[in-house]
Structure 1
Amino acid sequence: MKKILTLIFIACLGYACTPGATPPIASQIGESTYTPGRVVWHDLASPDPEASSAFYESVFGWTTVPYGDGNKKVWVFKQGDKPVALMAYYKTENGSGEWIGAISVPSVSEATAKAKTQGAKIVKKAMEVDNRGTISFLQDPQGASISLIKLNNGDPEPGLAEMNTFLGQELWTNDVSQSTNFYKEVVGYSTEEIDNQKVPYTIFKMGDMNCAGMLQSPAPDVRSHWVPYIRVANLDETISKAKNAGAKVLIEPSPDIRNGSVALLMDPTGAPLAVQVYNP
Structure 2
Amino acid sequence: MANIEYPKVAHGRICYVEIPAQDINISSAFYQKIFGWNIRTRSDGRIAFDDGIGKVSGTWVQGREPAAQPGLIVSIMVDDIEATMQAIISAGCSIVNKIQIGETEFVAWFADPAGNVLGLYQHPGGGHGKICYLEIPAADINKSVEFYKAIFPWQIRSDNHGNAAFDDVIGNVSGMWAGHVKPAPSGLVVYTMVDSVAETVEKIVAHGGAIVKPPRGNSKEDDAIFSDPEGNIMGIGQE
TM-score of the superposed pair, with normalisation by structure 1: 0.45
CA distance in 2, matches of 1:160, 1:212: 8
CA distance in 2, matches of 1:127, 1:184: 34
> Residue 17 of structure 2 aligns with which residue?
101
> Residue 51 of structure 2 aligns with which residue?
139
**Contact 2:20–2:66 (8 Å) recurs in 1:** no
**Alignment RMSD (CA, Å):** 4.2
CA distance in 2, matches of 1:115, 1:101: 13
Aligned match for 2:155, one of 245, 248, 254: 248
Aligned match for 1:213, one of 119, 126, 149: 119
Q: Cα distance, 1:221 vs. partner?
A: 3.4
Report the CA distance shift for 1:177/1:100 in structure 2 as closer, same or farther (over 3 A). Answer: farther
Identity over aligned pairs, percent: 13
- What does residue range 83-98 of structure 1 map to in structure 2 within 5 Å? 97-98=13-14
> Residue 175 of structure 1 aligns with which residue?
80
Q: Cα distance, 1:107 vs. partner?
A: 2.0
> Residue 9 of structure 2 aligns with which residue?
47
**Contact 2:50–2:58 (8 Å) recurs in 1:** yes
Aligned match for 1:155, one of 37, 60, 65: 65
In the alignment, is residue 190 of structure 1 matched against residue 94 of structure 2? yes
> Residue 109 of structure 2 aligns with which residue?
203
CA distance in 1, matches of 2:112, 2:19: 12
CA distance in 2, matches of 1:111, 1:206: 7
**Contact 1:175–1:216 (8 Å) recurs in 2:** yes
User: How many residues are paired up?
Assistant: 173
| Partner secondary structure for residue 221 of structure 1 | coil
Q: Cα distance, 1:148 vs. partner?
A: 5.0
Listed as ranges, the gaps of 5+ residues in structure 2 are 182-239
Report the CA distance shift for 1:184/1:158 in structure 2 as closer, same or farther (over 3 A). Answer: closer
- What does residue range 48-87 of structure 1 map to in structure 2 within 5 Å? 48=10, 51-52=11-12
**Contact 2:32–2:39 (8 Å) recurs in 1:** no
CA distance in 2, matches of 1:157, 1:221: 29
Listed as ranges, the gaps of 5+ residues in structure 1 are 1-11, 16-44, 53-96, 162-166
Kindly provide the amino acid, as one letter, of the partner of residue 125 in structure 1.
Answer: T
CA distance in 2, matches of 1:267, 1:147: 17
Q: Cα distance, 1:236 vs. partner?
A: 3.8
Q: Cα distance, 1:128 vs. partner?
A: 5.8
CA distance in 2, matches of 1:13, 1:98: 17
For residues 176-203 of structure 1, what are the alpha-carbon distances to aligned partners after superposition, in whole Å with 9 as ceiling and x for unaligned?
Answer: 24533554566x4212553554333322
Aligned match for 1:264, one of 152, 161, 165: 165
> Residue 177 of structure 2 aligns with which residue?
276
Q: Cα distance, 1:252 vs. partner?
A: 0.9
Report the CA distance shift for 1:182/1:14 in structure 2 as closer, same or farther (over 3 A). Answer: farther
CA distance in 1, matches of 2:116, 2:67: 14
CA distance in 2, matches of 1:147, 1:185: 25
In the alignment, is residue 234 of structure 1 matched against residue 140 of structure 2? yes
Q: Cα distance, 1:136 vs. partner?
A: 2.0
